Amino acid sequence: MAYKVKKYFKLDAKFAQSLVDIIAAELNQNVIIWDNHGVIIAAYIRERISSLHECSVLMLKSGKIQEFAVTDEDEKRYRGVRKGFNVPVLIEGYCVGGFGVTGEPDRAAPYARLAAHFVQAALESNLRKEKLMHALQEKRKLQSTLLNKMIEVQEEERRKISRELHDETSQSLTSIIVGLWMLAEQMDDPAKKEKIVVMRNLVAKTLDDVHCLALELRPVLLDDLGLVAAAERYVENYSRQYGIKIDADFASLSQVRFKPEVEITLYRILQETLTNIVKHAKATHIRVALQSGRGKIKLTVADNGIGFNTEALSYLAATNSLGIHGMRERISLLAGEFKIRSTKGTGTAVTVEIPWPKKKEEAGSRSGSGRRRPKQEKRG
């Protein structure tokens, strides 16, 4: 979208009045600033504000934007004018207003030109800043769109691979296990039977690894039954695998479904946070809570580990702790907040808050998602 001066820039009355006060005091002359319609928006004599400067209107209507003098005859003939000299202020060829100094035109002209030049320079500086801010906003918007698309593609690939591992690879390995068990039962040679049993156990372990991999990639429960069911299963497996006690509180939202992007984001945050704990925290106890209130969904993960200095977060995000950066990016896409509180020796708490949409919006997102939901579920 092209950046248009007319749409994005307007001569501010307060700014104009502050300029008038400063310049009038220096020149010891009456000073006015009129807008692009010829209306006086700032004046040393305040009674003139909102008056129509007819000479400016005539100049603007002529289509030939140029500086002009106001003579004694003009002062008598036209309304809202005083003898002096007026200089239009142009921004990228567009007249946003003008600057007038009263007095003899020849004496007033240098002051009017100097003041108008100053005003124009200040306005052009403001306009450049606005353009840069606009460009930055557009860039951030594009980055968010691209990041969101990348996450969608990534999650879709995860879903496909997870389903294939769960539905096809797991079934094939299960069939091999059953076949090896039957073959072992038919063997009379103890040595050969033992070899088959070893092979069967190896395939069984591979099947467990495939199940874990499928769960890490994209749990089937997340799509079928929702965030709470998937989170409960993940927490249960995590606690059993690493021997860390976890107190999980999901009861208040056990039957609630959220938008797909909210569910997968909160699940990935939980997954990444618990992974960081087992890698770095040396914790023995973890508390996980999912709550709602004040129009937000809140996920809290707190541990009793060794903690760390939160002042190093910016350094960690810039070096090898891509998990923290990734979590922040995911949450920002949903207009949420991501906070980490930690002190050495007292553990770490990660808190995520995401706006909870109205029920009508949520129901609308569900009707278009293409997935059937259990009849007993509540709508979030």
Cβ partners under 8 Å of residue 81, min gap 6: 53, 54, 55, 70, 74, 75
Burial of 290 (0-12, 13-18, 19+ CB in 10 A): buried
Contact 98, 88 (CB under 8 A): yes
- Give the span between the Cα atoms of 257 and 4, in whole angstroms: 44
CA–CA gap between residue 155 and residue 161 (Å, rounded): 10
CATH 3.30.565.10 range(s) for the chain read 225-379
pLDDT value at residue 146 = 79
**Mean pLDDT of successive 10-residue stretches along the chain, which has 380 residues:** 47 82 79 90 88 92 92 92 92 87 91 86 83 85 78 81 85 91 89 91 90 80 87 91 92 82 90 90 93 89 88 53 75 89 89 75 42 41
Half-sphere exposure of residue 227, counting CA atoms within 13 Å on the CB side? Answer: 29
For the chain, where do the domains classified as CATH 3.30.450.40 start and end?
Answer: 9-141
| pLDDT confidence of residue 92 | 81
pLDDT at residue 251, as a whole number? 76
- Helices 190-217 and 227-242, packing angle to 10 deg: 130
Residue 3 structure tokens? 């950046």
With tokens 């008038």, the residue in question is 20
Strands of 226-331 (E only): list them.
Answer: 245-249, 256-257, 285-293, 296-303
Residues 6+ apart with CB under 8 A from 371: 223
Residue 61 has phi, psi (to 5 degrees) of -70, -25
CA distance 222 to 241: 20
CA 142 → CA 139, 149, 265, 358, distances in Å?
Answer: 5, 11, 20, 26
CATH of domain 9-141: 3.30.450.40
Architecture of domain 225-379: 2-Layer Sandwich (3.30)
Q: CA 282 to CA 327: how far, in whole Å?
A: 21
pLDDT at 310: 67
Q: In residues, how long is the chain?
A: 380
